[in-house]
Structure 1
Amino acid sequence: MSEQVKRRWRLALGRYAEQQLGGLTGGDGRADRALDYLYGREYDKRGLHRPDGPGSLDPTQMKALDWLGEARKLFPQSVFQVLQDHALDRYGLSELLDDPKTLDSLEPNQDLLKTLLSFHGRARPEIKDKLRQVADAVIQDVLRRLKSDVQRAFSGRRNPFKRSHIASAANFDWRNTLRRNLKHYDPKAGRIIAEELRFLSRERRRLPWSVVLCVDQSGSMTDSIIHSAVMAAILSGLPGVRVSMVLFDTSIIDVTDRLTDPLETLLSVQLGGGTDIGRAVEYCERFVETPERTVFVLISDFAEGASPRRLFRAVARMNEARVRLIGLSALDELGAPYHDEQIAGRLTSLGMQIGAMTPDRLAQWLAEVMR
């Protein structure tokens, strides 16, 4: 038996096969504990009790929320979906959904938001309001962090030929300030006494632009969906910018009418399913009214589940019409990009700029494209 086959059997059979197949360490050990937390309940039903002590894998040593976060990190999305369904349907792990006190004790963060989005559709009505409160706290935190970056990127370029009386560190003209105050140089102190400060004026950029966000909602894209929803809310608040947003897997959800509330956008998400990028991109073509003033942003891992011909034809049409095309690759939890290289390469040849970046960098990139 090869080591790989032996490892798989060990994970499948659980800790009761340790004597015959050996123990597990590192990531395999974590996966073993996560699987035992869930499927060890089968052994419990049959009277095979788990040992007590510091080395015990007793399920009380791990909370449901901890298990969810661990399972999401350790297993592929398709496997995690199965584990999640088994946890709720077969083993009744609903502590998170049934106990408002548990939700009160949670520290809101983006990982928690991803978990809550997965379970929101299954929560009891009296718990959904509490789930929304926790989710909204996380979204507002992301919104605060991103809003200043986006507004700064779109605030306009500095005009070196126009002066301003508005004192701002961002507008400070240090070259002209030095030039105007050279006569106030103090040789004893070895410094210039600045009696007259100079500032540059900013010209507010006219923004007659349409931004179309086409966002992959497959399970691996949760982080990107969260940031896209927040980004759409911020952009839609800018003067002269019209924002449209579509979520897709093999189906399409048009959330253009609810962009001012990122939480409402996120609650429309149906994580999982296949991927038909071409169909979604074709749908988004309806939002293109003034092509040369439209930016189309495809946020995906570009892993097309259907034939890519439909996708390529749609992108080629928009490129020919002079739509600005941006492809944003998915990022994993460490910020590393991952996408289908072949599809991404073909889209690049059709005129789409492909990048992988954090949301604040996306705002800067959009501002550059729209100048």
Structure 2
Amino acid sequence: MTSEQIRRWKLALGDDDMDGLGERDQRLGHALSALYASETRGKRGGLGASSPKVSRWLGDIREFFPAPVVQIIQKDAFERLNLKALMLEPEFLATLEADVHLIADLISLRGAMPERTLETARMVIDKVVEELMQRLRAKTVEKLSGALNRSRRTRRPRHADIDWPRTIRANLRHYQERYNTVVPETLIGFARKTRTRADLDHVVLCVDQSGSMATSVVYASIFAAVMASLPVLSTKLICFDTAIVDLTEELADPVKVLFGVQLGGGTDINAALAYCETKIDRPGKTHLVLVTDLCEGGHAASMLARVAAFKQAGVNVIVLLALSDDGRPSYDVRNASAIAAMDCPVFACTPDQFPDMMACALTRQDIGQWASANGIDLVRGAS
């Protein structure tokens, strides 16, 4: 018997006999055993009701199998592991917390859901999105709306726009020794930008929707919806795997956006950037935020050339290797280093850091300095 035949038998036997298999094959075997372990051997599916565990399992099967096979396995999981009943239990729905892993699971499984369950899934996603919007919207609006034009000064600033260090220096002659304070007779502050529609900043969120980026897609979609509501910005959301879906017209409804996402499949960043190029008509006013692990399945050299062309044209290119709570990405080091060498910031970002990062980008501040000040590790350029 050949080594490949032995390998296949070990995978078929599952958890009973995986000695001698590599780490990847053992993960594959465990992923299959969690669903297909024979009840005649006293085993049942091992996914349980844990959303993070289901998320990891879904990520594994998307890694190991092509999309048509993944759809079959997901459908089997829905039937064998009683996930349908779990999603239909009112008591379960009442106890749900805001969890991007749960949203990712529901989006991934929706093709296998019967209509009644699909309606319940929409209710769950709507509940989670509402909680996430409440958590993330206020800070995002505060940071991004009414962006300050720091090249202009005014002596009649709003209270929130007062430049206190300059104001104090300008009023030192009015120092009151008795009260140990300066009386600011003259206020100096920042003048807010007055913008026409043609002068708006443009943000293009280009988001990798392959299976490994599931939680990043959820957060990016919500932030895109928030930014689209701000009159000071023009926002586009483009999601991709090997296909491209432009969700810009759906941004008024974050739940509809998420139901337009197709988690899974391969990754063609080059094709996605080519599409983005057709949507950018003011490069000097455009901020391209590419959310991806840079594991390019298309033509890597062409992808890097497009990033370089964007940078040369004046587009503010930012690469987020992950937009997730843990901020610990797994990514293609070679591509990341090549893009970092183009003087583009490449790093992972948590949702709580994203509004500050975008405010920094919109005011054309040094994102590298901002990242360092916030303890974020930037990818270094290839030497």
Normalising to structure 1: TM-score of the pair?
0.74
What letter matches 1:139 in structure 2? V
Instruction: Tell whether the 8 Å contact from 2:136 to 2:352 is kept in structure 1 after alignment.
Output: yes
**1:39 alignment partner, one of 24, 33, 36:** 36
Q: 1:39 to 1:240 in 2, by over 3 A?
A: same
1:135-146 counterparts in 2 under 5 A? 135-146=125-136
What letter matches 2:254 in structure 1? P
* SS class of match (1:253): strand
Displacement of 1:164: 5.4
Displacement of 1:369: 3.1
Q: 1:106 to 1:12 in 2, by over 3 A?
A: farther
List alignment gaps of at least 5 residues for structure 1.
22-27, 51-57, 187-191
The answer to whether 1:156 aligns with 2:141 is: no
Supply the distance in 2 between the matched residues of 1:233 and 1:364 (Cα, whole angstroms): 17
Who is 2:219 aligned against?
Answer: 227
Displacement of 1:71: 4.0
Who is 2:299 aligned against?
Answer: 307
Supply the distance in 2 between the matched residues of 1:12 and 1:70 (Cα, whole angstroms): 22
1:251-270 counterparts in 2 under 5 A? 251-270=243-262
Who is 1:237 aligned against?
Answer: 229
Supply the distance in 2 between the matched residues of 1:341 and 1:360 (Cα, whole angstroms): 25
Displacement of 1:319: 2.6
Instruction: Determine which structure has more spread, i.e. the larger CA radius of gyration.
Output: 1
Supply the distance in 1 between the matched residues of 2:154 and 2:103 (Cα, whole angstroms): 46
Who is 1:218 aligned against?
Answer: 210
* SS class of match (2:314): coil
Superposed CA offset, 1:349-371 (max 9, x none): 44533232223433333333333
What letter matches 1:125 in structure 2? E
Instruction: Tell whether the 8 Å contact from 1:103 to 1:131 is kept in structure 2 after alignment.
Output: no
The answer to whether 1:121 aligns with 2:144 is: no
Which stretch shows the higher mean deviation, 276-285 or 333-342? 333-342
Instruction: Tell whether the 8 Å contact from 1:97 to 1:123 is kept in structure 2 after alignment.
Output: no
Supply the distance in 2 between the matched residues of 1:210 and 1:367 (Cα, whole angstroms): 13
* SS class of match (1:338): coil
Alpha-carbon RMSD across the aligned residues, in angstroms, is 3.9
Superposed CA offset, 1:127-162 (max 9, x none): 323222221222122222222322233233487964
List alignment gaps of at least 5 residues for structure 2.
1-5, 20-25, 364-383
**2:63 alignment partner, one of 66, 71, 78:** 78
**2:278 alignment partner, one of 260, 275, 286:** 286
1:184-223 counterparts in 2 under 5 A? 185=178, 192=180, 201-205=189-193, 206=195, 208-223=200-215
Who is 1:343 aligned against?
Answer: 335
Instruction: Tell whether the 8 Å contact from 1:296 to 1:325 is kept in structure 2 after alignment.
Output: yes
Displacement of 1:105: 4.0
What letter matches 1:38 in structure 2? L
Who is 1:368 aligned against?
Answer: 360
Instruction: Tell whether the 8 Å contact from 1:295 to 1:325 is kept in structure 2 after alignment.
Output: yes
Displacement of 1:312: 2.6
Displacement of 1:300: 0.5
Supply the distance in 2 between the matched residues of 1:293 and 1:222 (Cα, whole angstroms): 29
Who is 1:65 aligned against?
Answer: 49
Supply the distance in 1 between the matched residues of 2:247 and 2:47 (Cα, whole angstroms): 35
Who is 1:274 aligned against?
Answer: 266
Q: 1:117 to 1:181 in 2, by over 3 A?
A: farther
Number of residues paired by the alignment? 335
Instruction: Tell whether the 8 Å contact from 1:143 to 1:230 is kept in structure 2 after alignment.
Output: yes
Q: 1:184 to 1:91 in 2, by over 3 A?
A: closer
Q: 1:325 to 1:198 in 2, by over 3 A?
A: same
